[in-house]
A and B are shown apart, each in its own frame.
Chain A
């Protein structure tokens, strides 16, 4: 969680990631943190959604844009939001970018590749759910 945004100035995209144990999960997590540091969005806590913490859920409902990054096709992060009735988000799956689970190096170059795709998705027009557009 990177900080709080005041809606007076327009809210940045909230970013959720699976942060899974596999290499692609780590890549998703580190990309979300990089996006937060670069102020391309604000990373939030997926566990807060799963844990039914009202502040996280209501912040997600109130956000102008939400990006969910999953490492692999299990799409755990996406399903976590959907289970709480949160459907208005953009979705990026790391393996859709050509990375293979178990065979991916979590390097700065690969983080940048994921971040670049994430920035494009964040800037895209709002839709109910965008999946694997890239």
Chain B
């Protein structure tokens, strides 16, 4: 599973990356976490608001940091 954190490097982006990593570890997933910081690449996802999280290219949410438990629901 590829978990992609979409954001240019703001505090919320960092927090989302941390929480996503925690969620993936707690679920025992085999994953690769990738931070996508290039704005053109982010726009290629159709994302208008960051931070956002995508799993294998599919955007799960944008514009928020929902917390570890909520993130887990998107990773299952």
- A residues apposed to B, CB below 8 Å: 1, 3-8, 11, 14, 42, 44-45, 48, 53-64
For A58, the chain B residues whose CB sits under 8 A away are 47, 52, 59-62
Interface size class of B (residues with CB under 8 A): 20 to 34
Chain A nearest CB, measured from B59 CB (Å): 4
**A-B contact number at CB 8 A:** 86
* Residue ID in chain A nearest B8 by CB atoms: A6
Give the contacting residue for A55; candidates B13, B62, B64; CB below 8 A.
Answer: B62
Instruction: Tell me if A55 and B61 are in contact (CB < 8 A).
Output: no
Q: How far is the CA of A64 from the CA of B58 in the complex (A)?
A: 22
Instruction: Tell me if B48 and A6 are in contact (CB < 8 A).
Output: no
B34 within 8 A of A: no
Q: How far is the CA of A40 from the CA of B12 in the complex (A)?
A: 23
- For the residues of B in contact with A, the DSSP-based class is mixed
16 A-B pairs besides A7-B51, A54-B45, A56-B46 with CB distance below 8 A are A4-B42, A4-B50, A6-B7, A6-B8, A6-B10, A6-B49, A14-B49, A53-B46, A54-B46, A55-B59, A58-B47, A58-B61, A59-B47, A59-B48, A59-B63, A62-B49
A–B complex contacts, Cβ < 8 Å, 19 sampled: A4-B8, A4-B43, A5-B49, A6-B7, A6-B12, A7-B12, A7-B49, A8-B12, A42-B48, A54-B45, A55-B48, A55-B62, A56-B47, A58-B52, A58-B60, A58-B61, A59-B59, A62-B64, A63-B63
For A7, the chain B residues whose CB sits under 8 A away are 12, 49-51, 63-64
